[in-house]
Amino acid sequence: MKEFDLISRYFSNGGYKRRDVVIGIGDDCAVTNVPENQQLAVTTDTLVAGVHFLDSAPAKSVAYKTVAVNLSDLAAMGAEPAWISLSLSLPEVNEDWLAEFVEGLYELTQYYSVQLIGGDTVKGPMAMTITAQGFIPPGSELTRSGANPGDWVYVTGTLGDAGVGLDILQNKLTVEGEARDVLVNRHYYPTPRVAVGTAIRRIATSCIDLSDGLISDLGHVLEASGCGANIHVDRLPLSRAMTSAVDTKTAIEYALSAGDDYELLFTVSEEQRGILETSLASTNVKATCIGQLSGHTEKLSLFKGDKPYEAATENGYEHSF
């Protein structure tokens, strides 16, 4: 199949259509309108087969995750997603695989009112690169560097599920029944917390999405903000599926270091803490306070009860070259 035939058949006419897209797929560039009094947030992520997703992963989940990780970055900045472009590298054209891939792509973009406005297709090792763009009111963007000693540390959802799901798929862990389905789906289909990001952008002092594990990603906030943190591992939100699959200590280790959860970690001052629950009510997402920032620069201290806790690893996932 020729490149332009592929684009025409699978990408030109489907998906969500936005009024602010003047020219979409089909020309040398897309043309869009940025709303008045809005700033543009831009992020790019590449997912490579065998590195970011299993070679055996369903095509629908590959597309879903490729979009979700980018929307999660926008969520961490407090941005409302608007447009994506896709660069797709494939070793060959498999029409069944492509049809399923497009289904996953458009399912998520439809849900979040995001339009695919362009990109590229090439022959090569399987990889997908998405550039996502969204809007933020001036002065309300969330960053990693705004946290202060005394701020409270929150995380959305539950932690560690995607890591357990990956180990199940790699036959490192045996789990059966409903718990297996829940954990595997959490790995295949992460949920970008877009609504939470926009709800907390005038409340939170800092924010990051959890892509590489709690310890690793919290470390980025501590470094950028010049703070330390006291985290209580017995407060980490753990799903029923995970606690039924592994013992409590193992569950805590997954929650601390496993990546791919794409939950949000954010900090809130004591003064704003009281209105947080009200702000999150419309999102239907629970946020759990797991600790507090300290003045000890970049020092992360873990506790279980009133005793220090030593994690099995001090790092989450990190790319190497």
Binding residues: 28, 43-45, 52, 73, 119-120, 144, 209, 211-212, 260, 317
Task: Give the DSSP letter string of 39-56.
Answer: EEEEEEEEEEBTTTB-TT
Indicate the residue type of 192.
P
Residue 235 CA to residue 214 CA, distance in Å, equals: 13
> Considering only CA atoms, which of 94, 88, 81 is closest in space to residue 135?
81
**Sequence ranges of the binding site for ATP:** 119-120, 144, 211
**Sequence ranges of the binding site for substrate:** 52, 260, 317
**Sequence ranges of the binding site for Mg(2+):** 28, 43-45, 73, 120, 209, 212
Burial class of residue 160, CB neighbours in 10 A (0-12, 13-18, 19+): buried
Residue 234 CA to residue 267 CA, distance in Å, equals: 19
Residue 298 CA to residue 246 CA, distance in Å, equals: 31
| Structural Rg of the chain based on CA atoms | 20
Which residues, listed in sequence order, are joined to residue 209 by a DSSP beta bridge?
Answer: 264
Residue 229 CA to residue 236 CA, distance in Å, equals: 14
Strand order across the beta sheet in which 127-136 lies: 39-48, 127-136, 80-90, 115-123
Residue 78 CA to residue 280 CA, distance in Å, equals: 13
> Considering only CA atoms, which of 191, 205, 187 is closest in space to residue 258?
187
Burial class of residue 165, CB neighbours in 10 A (0-12, 13-18, 19+): buried
